[in-house]
């Protein structure tokens, strides 16, 4: 079966009051149009055409070659928008889903259900519909005695009986592709707005004796379209609840789901515990049996199993099994931790590979470095990786010990089992098994502290 998609994304979205193109506003980390395109990808659509208008370049820049594009220069209605895909799709056999790009809550399971009904009934068109308590303002779905859809009646055109109908048009459709474009050629714009409407295709197909079906949504929220910032927040909240529910049913514990933020593409293993204030973003993957939070903010990172992350920020980082991070650590892009690594409080790691069993317990910076197995960094030890022009590499081989308040001036190498004494500033290579001391010899001036106090007191008295 050949499935195609047409995503209507040409509207400017003036009610968003934004410089950003409407369908690029994000819901749970992804632009609305991305959620819609992903749903079509999940049902194995062979071709997806996104109809763009205002902000076309921004949409194309984001979606890239995942889809094809058709341009609607003038906003002449939904039927006119679909017609812009004619040159790309009209010759194809198969089914076409027509859907709005600002409906991020639509699920691929709903699209699959609509397609299944469409095929079973041999329909020319199948509408996605919702049964609502208050249908005011929505087009009503009118069915015949067999249950087939005969027309969509807008609110202003409803008679008293039709106003009582609670089944409404959602605005997502499944069409026989050839019949869609044949009917579009017959759509007129003889209405107050002088626009061409996709809903008129339904009336044309019914008039031709074609079967038109309606697939009723199980979850009314999936029909939700976003037109302003308030509706954007509602979509965000609804999707957050859906995402959290999915993870909890899959074996993830959330101590306080209301304060736990998880974006759409995050993956989490079973028996992981998420503590309050945790935010998981982007393509983050977390293994099993972890404890994440409280107040952990993790973006595009890969976390192994049995990992603890407390009060810390991770961006594009890798953390191996059994490691611990925080509290108050910062893992920047390129941080790559092996197994059983300990990163403690107020430690920053950037573009550095740390092998298994490394300990950087507190108040240290490791950047542009390769650190071997079982190395210990003392409090305040840092790699000095930037000379004002270029970043330089620091290498510390396995079983070395870096004392407190050590400066490793890159490029530099510390050998296996070497010991760097606290307070040293290292500018030359330290050999395997060596002890490195690089600091001024201590000088004590007997009784000089009392002389300084007397001197300072005299100066103060003169003031």
The answer to the question of whether 102 is labelled as a binding residue is yes
Is 330 assigned a ligand-binding role in the annotation?
Answer: no
169 belongs to an annotated ligand binding site = yes
214 is in an annotated binding site: no
Catalytic residue among 118, 311, 362, 446: 362
- Is 53 marked as binding a ligand? no
* Residue 80 annotated among the catalytic residues of the structure: no
Q: Is 215 annotated as a binding residue?
A: no
- Has 236 been labeled as part of a binding site? no
The answer to whether 385 is annotated as binding is yes
> Does the annotation list 77 as a binding residue?
yes
458 assigned binding-site residue:
no
- 422 marked as part of a ligand binding site: yes
- Known binding residue 18? Answer is no
SS (H, E, C) the chain: CCEEEEEEECCCCHHHCCCCCHHHCEECCEEHHHHHHHHHHHCCCCEEEEEEECEHHHHHHHHHHHCEEEECCCCCCHHHHHHCCHHHHCCCCCEEEEEECCCCCCCHHHHHHHHHHHHHHCCCEEEEEEECCCCCCCCEEEECCCCCEEEEECHHHCCHHHHCCCEEEEEEEEEEHHHHHHHHCCCCCCCCCCCCCCHHHHHHHHHCCCCEEEEECCCHHHHCCCCCHHHHHHHHHHHHHHHHHHHHHCCCEECCHHHCEECCCCEECCCCEECCCCEEECCCEECCCCEECCCCEEECCEECCCCEECCCEEECCEECCCCEECCCCEECCCCEECCCCEEEECCEEEEEEECCCCEEEECCEEEEEEECCCCEECCCCEEECECCCCECCEEECCCCEECCCCEEECCEEECCCCEECCCCEECCCECCCCEECCCCCCCCCCCHHHHHHHHHHHHHHHC
Would the annotation count 178 as a binding residue?
no
Catalytic residues: 362
Annotated binding site for acetyl-CoA: 385-386, 404, 422, 439
Annotated binding site: 8-11, 22, 72, 77-78, 100-102, 139, 154, 169, 227, 332, 350, 365, 376, 385-386, 404, 422, 439
Annotated binding site for UDP-N-acetyl-alpha-D-glucosamine: 8-11, 22, 72, 77-78, 100-102, 139, 154, 169, 227, 332, 350, 365, 376
């Amino acid at each position: 079966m050949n499935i195609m998609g047409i995503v209507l994304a040409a509207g400017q979205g003036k009610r968003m009051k934004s410089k950003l193109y409407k369908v690029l506003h994000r819901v749970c980390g992804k632009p609305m149009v991305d959620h819609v395109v992903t749903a079509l990808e999940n049902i194995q659509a062979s071709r997806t055409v996104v109809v763009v208008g205002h902000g076309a370049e921004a949409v194309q820049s984001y979606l890239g070659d995942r889809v094809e594009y058709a341009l609607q220069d003038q906003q002449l209605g939904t039927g006119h928008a679909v017609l812009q895909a004619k040159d790309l799709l009209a010759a194809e056999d198969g089914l076409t889903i027509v859907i709005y790009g600002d409906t991020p809550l639509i699920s691929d399971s709903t699209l699959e259900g609509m397609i299944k009904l469409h095929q079973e009934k041999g329909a020319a068109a199948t509408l996605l519909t919702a049964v609502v308590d208050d249908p005011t303002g929505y087009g009503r779905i009118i069915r015949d005695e067999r249950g087939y859809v005969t027309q969509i009646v807008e609110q202003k055109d409803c008679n008293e009986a039709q106003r009582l109908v609670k089944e409404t048009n959602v605005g997502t459709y499944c069409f026989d592709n050839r019949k869609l474009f044949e009917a579009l050629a017959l759509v007129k714009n003889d209405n107050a707005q002088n626009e061409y409407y996709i809903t008129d295709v339904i009336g044309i197909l019914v008039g031709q004796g074609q079967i038109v079906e309606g697939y009723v949504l199980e979850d009314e929220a999936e029909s939700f379209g976003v037109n302003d910032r308030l509706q954007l927040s509602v979509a965000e909240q609804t999707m957050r609840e859906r995402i959290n529910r999915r993870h909890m049913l899959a074996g993830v514990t959330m101590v306080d789901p209301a304060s736990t933020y998880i974006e759409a593409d995050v993956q989490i293993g079973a028996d992981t515990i998420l503590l309050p204030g945790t935010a998981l973003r982007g393509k983050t993957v977390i293994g099993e049996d972890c404890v994440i939070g409280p107040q952990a903010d993790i973006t595009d990172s890969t976390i192994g199993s049995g990992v603890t992350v407390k009060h810390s920020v991770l961006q594009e980082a890798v953390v191996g099994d059994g490691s611990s991070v925080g509290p108050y650590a910062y893992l920047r892009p390129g941080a790559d931790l092996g197994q059983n690594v300990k990163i403690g409080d107020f430690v920053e790691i950037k573009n550095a590979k740390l092998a298994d069993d490394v300990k950087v317990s507190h108040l240290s910076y490791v950047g542009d470095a390769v650190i071997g197995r079982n190395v210990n960094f003392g409090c305040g030890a840092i790699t000095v990786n930037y000379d004002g022009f270029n970043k330089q590499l620091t290498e510390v081989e396995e079983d070395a010990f870096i004392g407190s308040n050590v400066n490793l001036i890159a490029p530099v190498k510390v050998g296996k089992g070497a010991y760097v004494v606290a307070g040293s500033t290292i500018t030359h290579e330290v050999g395997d098994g060596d002890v490195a001391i690089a600091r001024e010899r201590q000088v004590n001036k007997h009784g000089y502290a009392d002389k300084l106090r007397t001197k300072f007191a005299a100066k103060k008295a003169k003031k």
